[in-house]
Amino acid sequence: FYIHSNLTAMYDKIKLMLYDLPTGYNWQTVLQRTVVKDYFANGTGGKGYWHGRKVIVTETYVSFEGSLPKCLWGHNTRTMSLEDTERCIMMLSEELGVPMYNAEVESLEFAHNFEMSQPPISYLRKLSGIKKFIPNQWSGERSGTAYFDYEGTRIKFYDKMSEAKKKRELPKVGRNSLSNYLLRYEMTLGIDELFELFGKGITANELWDKYVFWKLVAEWFGYYEDIDKLPDDCWDVEFDTLKSAKDFDKWCICIANEGQNLSYYMKYILFKNRKNRLPEDRILHTQFQKRIQEAIKWQKEHFKTSNLMEELTSKIEKYLVWLLEQSADGMSIAEEHRIFSTAC
């Protein structure tokens, strides 16, 4: 199994906040080390750019927000190792003149691009949702993007080539070797979610620690496993599959659900925005949701797993095997036991 050399890093966009400023810190000096955009009207700081990414410098903190691979290469379609992550953060620290490696990580994107056999939109249609997460209302064909939100966590899938072309962020070298069908799977965690995952806040210099990295890998894969994935197209039904009028009702619900996430639409559009509210509405809403879930269960029982989802799952699993066993950031069994037993 071979992983294409031009596939994206796991770490992408991050937000860092440095509050523990060094002795002799002068915000004007630090800001002048960036491409200065403007100064705040109250005279306490300003905004600039470092390698095209936003830096805010004030009397009390320095912040950085942006894509690490884009800082290094101008695009995020290339593999970024933990060594690259360290190099980027240390370069940021050196060029700003403040220890950004000690900064708190307020949010991070964890992502990978996959070369697929079909256009990414085909796969987006099969991603139904995650329990408790709110899907974007404009998923699938209308946006080329599917994402699911819950508090400070976002799970997102989209057409990477389409986005990179639109932003003109394709690599100058090797762009011809990139597949036209690049599907990106991205996990974004906010500061509270990072604290919950690690039991504490994490700092920038922990991003290249294997324990932190592999905890994030496990979280990223875990969310993928939690996604409800639709079976093959409901229109491929045979008459013999419909054993009763109830089966016909379920089939109709499944067809409607493929075009619109019915559970979400019922709860957040119809039920939430109802005009003449009555106490018994909740009972009726629960009954509707039960019907939808029964239909989805029936669909999974009577329609085979989508070949598209089998392909995507296989690509993700093979990537994780490569990452663990062959990449520079992998671990031996002994190393895995040592790192995680010590950390726990």
**Number of CB atoms found within 10 A of residue 147's CB:** 20
Q: Is a pLDDT exceeding 50 seen at residue 4?
A: no
Q: Is the pLDDT of residue 2 over 90?
A: no
pLDDT at position 167 is 60
pLDDT at 337: 82
State yes or no: pLDDT of 147 exceeds 60: yes
What token pair was written down for 192? Answer: 């509270």
Instruction: List CB contacts of 257: < 8 A, sequence separation 6 or more.
Output: 128, 230, 263, 292, 295, 296
Strands 53-58 and 62-67, by their bridges, are antiparallel
Report which of residues 301 and 177 the model is more confident about: 301
Q: Report pLDDT for 75.
A: 78
- Asked if residue 6 has pLDDT above 50, the reply is no
Task: Indicate the pLDDT class of residue 254, thresholds 50, 70 and 90.
Answer: confident
pLDDT at 43: 86
Q: In what order do the strands lie in the sheet with 35-39?
A: 35-39, 45-50, 53-58, 62-67, 11-18, 104-115, 182-190, 153-159, 145-150, 134-135
pLDDT at 5: 42
Q: Taking Cα atoms as reference points, which of 103, 79, 105, 66 lies closest to residue 215?
A: 105
Window from 87-91, 224-228, 299-303 with minimum mean pLDDT: 299-303
Q: Is the pLDDT of residue 47 over 50?
A: yes
Residue 233 exposed, middle or buried by CB count within 10 Å (0-12, 13-18, 19+) = middle
Considering only CA atoms, give the Rg of the chain: 23
Q: CA–CA separation, 55 vs 16, rounded Å?
A: 9
pLDDT above 80 (res 165): no
Report the share of the chain in percent with pLDDT over 90: 54
Q: Give the per-residue pLDDT at 3.
A: 40
Taking 90 as the threshold, does the pLDDT of residue 188 lie above it? yes
The winner for highest mean pLDDT among 24-33, 156-165, 252-261, 317-326 is: 24-33
Determine the Cα–Cα distance for residues 214 and 78; give it in Å rounded to an integer: 19
Tokens coding 41: 């009207």
Greater model confidence, 316 or 305: 316
Lowest mean pLDDT among 59-63, 124-128, 157-161, 174-178: 174-178
- Does position 290 have pLDDT exceeding 70, yes or no? yes
The confidence score (pLDDT) of residue 46 equals 95
Confidence of residue 164 (pLDDT cuts 50, 70, 90): low
Say yes or no to pLDDT of 122 above 90: no
Mean pLDDT (the chain) is 87
pLDDT at res. 88: 95
Cβ(194)–Cβ(90) under 8 Å?
A: no
| Sign of the alpha-carbon dihedral angle for 174, 177, 181, 184 | negative
Tokens coding 65: 């927000």
Q: Tell whether the model's pLDDT for residue 198 goes beyond 70.
A: yes
